[in-house]
């Protein structure tokens, strides 16, 4: 990368150079995440890094993304003369990447292609709002090399969608899935449970309706009441109520039972896939493989240190375009802390954690990191341990979030 690059605004003044990453061979990421922070509307429960109704920022976002990508370079090591990072998976999340529309998506990929090069068999995922999925958008996604669309459907019930403050209806989800399937794209459908006022019967209807659409992958998330959201404020005022804990559990168990019966493998706490359709990108996260990440609030990981970009879209844009460091939190882990984290994310998967692989990947013995905790979980029926693999049971998965404090 040159020490200074020519301004894209045509002034001819050199811009300050951003630091360039030269990856060691073993740590060179094969996975990248791009955060697209734009939404039409902020859903009442959402605390993600995004701006709603600020399409005026899109041009500066594109400029900043191009600048941030300048630090992604593997040229010296790759030996192929290119400044691109070769990828097995690329994931565009947000926000709502589909909010960019067909032309915006083409522009985004033109910028990404300067530094990120998905392999010919790469998984290229894009998050989409059902309302954005038009024939033109699907054609643009195909032209850009997208292979998989993660559709923020959340429900196929009009009352639940209203309760979740979503801006689409059930027919929008059905139409979007149809268009994506007609184009041969892999569809992952998000569903949400424990929405305000949602009954177990409503969840069961949603699961049946989702199965009828035959997406290759389904993610089921339980509504969480995040601080600072409109939902949390309404709950404090007594206008909204959280589902009782036993109802939340019944909904989760129903999802596991019904989706497994329909041929979906429950391979991670919240994720279900038809054979051969696990999300490869998320598998890389759960394996703690290194990944690159760009955009506001995006977190990158080199196997030991996680660096999260500033969460404010406007601050991230300003800092990147000024050539300043756009990092927010830096989490540099010791070898043992990294091993603990590896164990926790590994146990979210139904395959569990295999002792030999854990030792080889982390350099730490599983029993020295978490032996007493595993013994307690097994005694309580929350995990199984056959001497080789440690796996959470269904009872353990149901309370998994409460177990991690035993290890971390
Ligand atoms: S569309 Fe998704 S990212 Fe955007 S506000 Fe709603 S939940 Fe959040």
Ligand 1 atom nearest to CA at 129: 1
Are 44 and 225 within 8 A, CB to CB? no
The predicted pLDDT at position 255 comes to: 98
Nearest protein CA to atom 5 of ligand 1, as residue = 42
* pLDDT under 70: residue ranges of the chain: 1-26, 73-81
The predicted pLDDT at position 183 comes to: 98
The predicted pLDDT at position 126 comes to: 98
Q: Is ligand 1 within 6 A of the CB of residue 153?
A: no
DSSP run (H or E) holding 391: strand 389-392
Half-sphere exposure of 178 (CA within 13 A, CB side): 8
Cis peptide before 95 (omega within 30 of 0): yes
Q: Is ligand 1 within 6 A of the CB of residue 303?
A: no
Q: Is ligand 1 within 6 A of the CB of residue 130?
A: no
The model carries a pTM of 0.91
Q: How far apart are CA 41 and CA 37, in angstroms?
A: 12
The predicted pLDDT at position 367 comes to: 95
The predicted pLDDT at position 22 comes to: 46
Q: Are strands 327-332 and 305-309 parallel, antiparallel or unpaired?
A: antiparallel
Nearest protein CA to atom 3 of ligand 1, as residue = 95
Burial class of residue 402 in the structure, from the number of CB atoms within 10 Å of its CB (0-12 exposed, 13-18 middle, 19+ buried): exposed
Radius of gyration of the chain (CA): 22
Domain ranges of the chain: 5-286, 341-408
CA 68 / ligand 1 centre spacing (Å) = 24
Q: Is ligand 1 within 6 A of the CB of residue 97?
A: no
Ligand 1 atom nearest to CA at 127: 2
pLDDT, tens digit (0-9, with 9 covering 90-100), for 27-76? 789 999 999 999 999 999 999 999 999 999 999 999 999 999 998 864 43
Strand partners, 193: 222
Residue in the structure block whose two tokens are 């049946």: 208
The predicted pLDDT at position 12 comes to: 30
CA 24 / ligand 1 centre spacing (Å) = 36
Q: How far apart are CA 91 and CA 32, in angstroms?
A: 6
Assess whether the region 5-286 and the region 341-408 belong to the same CATH fold. no
Q: Phi and psi of 397, rounded to 5°?
A: -65, -35
Q: How far apart are CA 395 and CA 379, in angstroms?
A: 12
Are 328 and 310 within 8 A, CB to CB? yes
Q: Phi and psi of 38, rounded to 5°?
A: -100, 135
Q: How far apart are CA 132 and CA 168, in angstroms?
A: 10
Specify the CATH number for 5-286; select among 3.20.20.70, 3.30.930.10, 3.10.20.30, 3.40.50.80. Answer: 3.20.20.70
Are 390 and 371 within 8 A, CB to CB? no
Burial readout 315-346 (b: 16 or more C-beta within 10 A, e: otherwise): ebbebbbebeebebeeeebeeeebbbbbbbbb
Q: Is ligand 1 within 6 A of the CB of residue 98?
A: no
Q: Is ligand 1 within 6 A of the CB of residue 48?
A: yes
The predicted pLDDT at position 20 comes to: 41
Q: How far apart are CA 226 and CA 76, in angstroms?
A: 43
Fold classification of 341-408 (topology level): Arc Repressor Mutant, subunit A (1.10.10)
């Amino acid at each position: 990368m040159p020490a200074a690059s020519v301004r894209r605004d045509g002034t001819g003044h050199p811009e300050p150079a951003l630091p360039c990453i030269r990856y060691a061979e073993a740590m060179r990421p094969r996975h990248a995440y791009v955060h697209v922070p734009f939404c039409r509307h902020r859903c009442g429960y959402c605390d993600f890094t995004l701006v709603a109704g600020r399409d005026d920022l899109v041009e500066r976002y594109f400029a900043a993304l191009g600048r941030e990508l300048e630090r992604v370079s593997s040229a010296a090591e790759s030996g192929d003369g290119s400044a691109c990072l070769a990828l097995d998976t690329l994931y565009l999340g947000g926000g709502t990447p589909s909010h960019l529309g067909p032309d915006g998506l083409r522009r985004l990929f033109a910028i990404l292609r300067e530094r990120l090069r998905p392999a010919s068999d790469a998984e290229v995922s894009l998050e989409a709002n059902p309302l954005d999925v038009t024939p033109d958008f699907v054609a643009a996604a195909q032209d850009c090399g997208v292979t998989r669309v993660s559709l923020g459907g959340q429900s196929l019930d009009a009352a639940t969608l209203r309760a979740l403050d979503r801006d689409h209806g059930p027919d929008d989800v059905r139409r979007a899935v149809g268009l994506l399937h007609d184009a041969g794209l892999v569809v992952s459908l998000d569903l949400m449970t424990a929405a305000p006022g949602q009954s177990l019967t409503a969840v069961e209807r949603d699961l049946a309706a989702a199965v009828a659409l035959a997406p290759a992958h389904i993610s089921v998330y339980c509504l969480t009441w995040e601080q600072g959201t409109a939902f949390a404020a309404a709950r404090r005022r007594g206008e909204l109520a959280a589902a009782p804990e036993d109802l939340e559990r019944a909904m989760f168990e129903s999802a596991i039972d019904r989706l497994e019966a329909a041929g979906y493998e429950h391979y991670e706490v919240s994720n279900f896939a038809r054979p051969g359709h696990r999300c490869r990108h998320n598998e890389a996260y759960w394996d703690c493989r290194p990944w690159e990440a760009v955009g506001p609030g995006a977190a990158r990981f080199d196997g030991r240190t996680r660096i999260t970009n500033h969460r404010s879209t406007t601050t991230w844009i300003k800092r990147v375009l000024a050539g300043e460091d756009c990092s927010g939190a830096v989490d540099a882990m010791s070898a043992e802390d990294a091993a603990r984290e590896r164990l926790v994310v590994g146990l979210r998967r139904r395959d569990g954690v295999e002792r030999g692989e854990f030792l080889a990947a982390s350099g730490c013995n599983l029993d020295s990191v978490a032996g007493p905790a595993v013994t307690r979980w097994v005694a309580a029926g929350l995990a199984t341990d056959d001497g080789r693999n440690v796996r959470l049971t269904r009872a353990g998965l149901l309370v998994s979030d409460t177990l991690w404090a035993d290890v971390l």
